[in-house]
Amino acid sequence: MQAIERNITLYRWSRFLRSLIFWQAMWFLYFQDVLSASEAILLYAVYDVSTTILEVPSGYMSDKFGRRKTLIASAFAAFAGAVCLAVGDSFITFAIAQTLIGMGGAFASGTDEAMLYESLAASDRTDEIEAQEVVAWRYSFAALALSAITGGAMALIDPRMPFVAGAIAMIGLIWVTFLMVEPPRTSPSAEGSELLRVTHLGDAFRNPVLLWFFALTVAMYGFSHLPFVFGQPFILEALDGAGFAASAPLVSGAVTALMMVISVVASLFALKLRAALGLPMLLLGAFTLQIAISGVMALTDSAIVLVFLLLRMVPDALSRPFILGQIQPLLPDDSRATWLSLKSFVGRLVFASALAAGAVSTTNAGTFPYDDIAAILTVAVVIGVFILTALALTARVITQNPKTP
């Protein structure tokens, strides 16, 4: 039992190490400098497509063969991808790196969250799931803040240094993952027939509560990543006009770091806001903020947008832990990771398709012009408002459905 409870602490540190993405604030700038803006978008699409293709198989692997083995495979893939980024100098090499990193993300997606929930269940502590996810969120975003500012500074010395630092962090992740133990399963079919496993998965997709959360998380995934992709070229263009383009990696890193710090601060109030506003209002408010950030970026290219970019991860801090806390008790052990992976699969597929369409519509010039960014984001905002309206009209299912925990 002590080893199982240790998983809960190790989960936080695994999230911390996995979030030490030192290149997060300069990857787009680096790729478009070595290649072009359109190829930089395509490289992100390669990452998303790779993760998408492996999402469901990795979820099945996790449900079938175990959480620990799947997480170990994830850590090794992430390490190999970071190494390829550090040594690469061509689209093909970078594409291989993005594929490996996507593999690492896919193998961890749903599996680490299932590891936490099942470890809590084995320790008779499932009532802590939302609070534990909030704590893990703070670890994750503290690491993102730390790696953003240090990675931006590293890039000024050598643009490959952030990728080397990321590879070292993944070695730490491998070590932490090996320390975990496989949690016991409670579902009678965990080692049973595949037919029963598929039946349980089908039952989950007939649950209106899970379907509502499924739609919300798919939409929020895309709107969370829009500022991530377009924020860096936006910052570069703003600085270029002031004659400070050479400082873009450092400024981008500072903006990203402050963004993560604000997210951590927001998480300190998350539980109180949930109690005060209620879950539906909190989640819909978080999604509204995401749409608003993209809307401001579409309206103007002035420096005021940087203020809104700082709020990018606040919606995730106010929604993701609670979404996981709501859906995990509704999912059986033998298909939990598969369902979570399917959710991510659809989100990544939709976003990757949108990115590919955006890349086709942009110029082949080395830098990304603001007019192209504004056009893409305007379409996204219109779609977002439509989705928000539909979710608001159906939000009652998560409060009226008797299966909601």
351-392 tens-digit pLDDT: 877 766 666 555 554 455 677 778 888 888 999 999 999 999
In terms of pLDDT, which residue wins out, 193 or 120? 120
What are the tens digits of pLDDT across the range 289-326? 999 999 988 888 776 777 888 888 899 889 988 888 88
User: Comparing C-alpha atoms, which of 212, 198, 219, 189 is closest to residue 316?
Assistant: 219
For residue 270, give its domain range. 2-181+194-400
| Rounded-to-integer distance, Cα 184 and Cα 187, Å | 10
Q: What is the mean pLDDT of the chain?
A: 81
- pLDDT exceeds 70 at position 176: yes
Phi then psi for 331, rounded to 5 degrees? Answer: -110, 135
Whole-number pLDDT of residue 403: 46
In terms of pLDDT, which residue wins out, 20 or 334? 20
Phi then psi for 402, rounded to 5 degrees? Answer: -65, -15
Q: Could you report how far apart the first and last alpha carbons of the chain are, in Å?
A: 26
In a domain? residue 347: yes
| Rounded-to-integer distance, Cα 185 and Cα 251, Å | 47
| Rounded-to-integer distance, Cα 116 and Cα 294, Å | 33
Residue that the structure tokens 């100098």 belong to:
89
User: Comparing C-alpha atoms, which of 185, 205, 193 is closest to residue 333?
Assistant: 185
Instruction: List the structure tokens of 1.
Output: 């039992």
Q: Of 89-98, 138-147, 194-203, 276-285, where does mean pLDDT reach its minimum?
A: 194-203
Q: What is the mean pLDDT of residues 213-222?
A: 91
- pLDDT exceeds 50 at position 405: no
What are the tens digits of pLDDT across the range 102-124? 899 889 877 888 899 889 988 88
pLDDT band at 68 (very low <50, low <70, confident <90, very high): very high
Q: Of 42-51, 128-137, 313-322, where does mean pLDDT reach its minimum?
A: 42-51
DSSP states of 78-137? HHHHHHHHHH--SHHHHHHHHHHHHHHHHHHTTHHHHHHHHHHHHTT-GGGHHHHHHHHH
Q: Positive or negative, the Cα torsion across 63, 66, 72, 77?
A: negative
Q: Of 80-94, 211-225, 319-333, where does mean pLDDT reach its minimum?
A: 319-333
- pLDDT exceeds 70 at position 281: yes
Q: What is the mean pLDDT of residues 251-257?
A: 71
In a domain? residue 186: no
Q: How many domains does the chain have?
A: 1
The domain that contains 292 carries what CATH number? 1.20.1250.20
Instruction: List the structure tokens of 75.
Output: 């850590």
- Residue 334 half-sphere exposure, CB side, CA atoms within 13 Å? 18
Whole-number pLDDT of residue 1: 59
In a domain? residue 188: no
In a domain? residue 389: yes
- pLDDT exceeds 80 at position 251: no
Residue 64 exposed, middle or buried by CB count within 10 Å (0-12, 13-18, 19+): middle
Whole-number pLDDT of residue 379: 86
